Chain A
Amino acid sequence: MIATLTLRERRIGLGLSVALAVLGLAMAAAARTGPMAVHGGMALILGLVLIFAIGGALYDHPEQGEDRLTRYYDAPTRFGIVMTLIWAVIGMGVGVWLAALMYWPEATPPWPATSFGRLRPVHTSGVIFGFGGNALIATSFWVLQRTSRARLADAVSPWVVLIGYNLFCLWAASGYLMGSTQSKEYAEPEWYADIWLTIVWVTYFVLYIRTLARRAEPHIYVANWYYMAFILVVALLHIVNNLALPVSWTGAESFPVWAGVQDAMIQWWYGHNAVAFFLTAGFLGMLYYFLPVRAQRPIWSYRLSILSFWGIVFFYMWAGSHHLHYTALPYWVQTLGMTFSVMLLVPSWASAGNAIATLNGAWHKVRDDATLRFMFVAAVFYGLSTFEGSFLAIRPVNSLSHYTDWTVGHVHSGTLGWVAMIVFGAIYTLVPRLSGRDTMAWPKAIEWHFWLAVAGTLVYVVALWNAGITQGLMWRAYDENGALSYSFIQSVEAMLPYYAARTLGGTLFLAGAVLCALNCRATMRTAGDRVDATDRPLAAQPAE
Chain B
Amino acid sequence: MTTDPKALPGADPHTGNRDIDPVTGYDTTGHDWGGIRELNTPFPKVALIALVITVVYSIIAWILLPAWPLGRDYTRGLLGLDQNEMAMESLGRVETRRETWLAAFDDPDFDAIAADEALMARARPAAERLYQDNCAACHGTEGMGGPGFPVLSDDYWLWGGDPETIATTLQVGINATHPDTRWAQMPAFDWMERSDRHALAGYVSDLSGGRADHDGPAAVLFEENCVACHGERGRGGLMNGAPALTDDAVIYGQDEASVMDTLRNGRQGLMPYWSDRLSDAEINLLAVYVAGLGDDTTGGTP
From B1, B28, B36, residue with most partner A Cβ within 10 Å? B36
Interface string of A300-319 (1 = CB under 8 A from B): 11111101000100000000
Asked if A336 lies at the interface with its beta carbon under 8 angstroms from chain B, I say yes
Asked if B98 lies at the interface with its beta carbon under 8 angstroms from chain A, I say yes
Q: How far is the CA of A483 from the CA of B31 in the complex (A)?
A: 66
- B126 in contact with A217 (CB, 8 Å): no
- B133 in contact with A487 (CB, 8 Å): yes
Q: How far is the CA of A93 from the CA of B2 in the complex (A)?
A: 52
Residues of B within 8 A of A539 (CB): 32
- A298 in contact with B21 (CB, 8 Å): yes
Residues of A within 8 A of B35 (CB): 293, 536
- A481 in contact with B125 (CB, 8 Å): yes
- A490 in contact with B37 (CB, 8 Å): no
- B44 in contact with A301 (CB, 8 Å): yes
Which residue of A146, A299, A481, A541 contacts B98 across the interface (Cβ within 8 Å)? A481
Q: How far is the CA of A301 from the CA of B40 in the complex (A)?
A: 6
Residues of B within 8 A of A222 (CB): 38
Q: How far is the CA of A146 from the CA of B61 in the complex (A)?
A: 45
Q: Which residue of A lies closest to B16 (CB)?
A: A218
- A331 in contact with B83 (CB, 8 Å): yes
Residues of B within 8 A of A289 (CB): 36
Asked if B194 lies at the interface with its beta carbon under 8 angstroms from chain A, I say no
A364 CB to closest chain B CB (Å) equals 12
Asked if A247 lies at the interface with its beta carbon under 8 angstroms from chain B, I say no
- B75 in contact with A332 (CB, 8 Å): yes
- B24 in contact with A361 (CB, 8 Å): yes
Q: A331-B83, A339-B57 are in contact. Are A221 and B133 (CB under 8 A)?
A: no
Asked if A65 lies at the interface with its beta carbon under 8 angstroms from chain B, I say no
- A336 in contact with B68 (CB, 8 Å): yes
Which chain B residues numbered 17 to 61 have a C-beta less than 8 Å away from chain A? 21, 23-24, 28-29, 31-44, 47, 50-51, 54-55, 57-58, 61
Which residue of A293, A304, A331, A361 contacts B66 across the interface (Cβ within 8 Å)? A331
Q: How far is the CA of A487 from the CA of B125 in the complex (A)?
A: 10
Q: How far is the CA of A335 from the CA of B79 in the complex (A)?
A: 13
Q: Flag the segment in A6-14, A19-27, A345-353 that touches B.
A: A345-353
B295 CB to closest chain A CB (Å) equals 21
B198 CB to closest chain A CB (Å) equals 29
- B41 in contact with A360 (CB, 8 Å): no
Q: Which residue of A lies closest to B43 (CB)?
A: A303
- A330 in contact with B66 (CB, 8 Å): yes
- B54 in contact with A343 (CB, 8 Å): yes
Asked if B181 lies at the interface with its beta carbon under 8 angstroms from chain A, I say no
Q: Flag the segment in B6-14, B155-163, B182-190, B262-270 that touches A.
A: B6-14
Which residue of A345, A350, A490, A542 contacts B132 across the interface (Cβ within 8 Å)? A490
Which residue of B2, B4, B39 contacts A301 across the interface (Cβ within 8 Å)? B39
Asked if B258 lies at the interface with its beta carbon under 8 angstroms from chain A, I say no
Q: Which residue of A lies closest to B141 (CB)?
A: A489
Q: How far is the CA of A340 from the CA of B54 in the complex (A)?
A: 9
- A342 in contact with B122 (CB, 8 Å): no
B97 CB to closest chain A CB (Å) equals 3
Q: A332-B67, A536-B34 are in contact. Are A487 and B136 (CB under 8 A)?
A: yes
Q: A302-B29, A336-B68, A343-B55 are in contact. Are A218 and B129 (CB under 8 A)?
A: no
Q: How far is the CA of A304 from the CA of B41 in the complex (A)?
A: 8
- A335 in contact with B65 (CB, 8 Å): yes
Residues of A within 8 A of B9 (CB): 540, 542
- B67 in contact with A360 (CB, 8 Å): no
Interface string of A359-378 (1 = CB under 8 A from B): 01100000000000000000
- B51 in contact with A346 (CB, 8 Å): yes
Asked if A259 lies at the interface with its beta carbon under 8 angstroms from chain B, I say no
Interface string of A213-238 (1 = CB under 8 A from B): 00011110110000000000000000
Residues of A within 8 A of B94 (CB): 478, 482
Residues of B within 8 A of A298 (CB): 21, 28, 36-39
Residues of B within 8 A of A339 (CB): 57-58, 61-62, 67
Interface string of A480-495 (1 = CB under 8 A from B): 1111111111100000
Asked if A186 lies at the interface with its beta carbon under 8 angstroms from chain B, I say no
- B58 in contact with A342 (CB, 8 Å): yes
B147 CB to closest chain A CB (Å) equals 15
Asked if B220 lies at the interface with its beta carbon under 8 angstroms from chain A, I say no
Identify the A interface with B (CB < 8 A). Answer: 146-147, 149, 216-219, 221-222, 289, 292-293, 297-305, 307, 311, 326, 330-332, 334-336, 338-340, 342-343, 345-346, 349-350, 353, 360-361, 478-490, 536, 538-542, 544
13 contacts between A and B (CB under 8 A): A149-B34, A217-B33, A218-B5, A219-B31, A292-B37, A302-B41, A331-B65, A335-B65, A335-B77, A336-B67, A481-B125, A482-B102, A540-B8
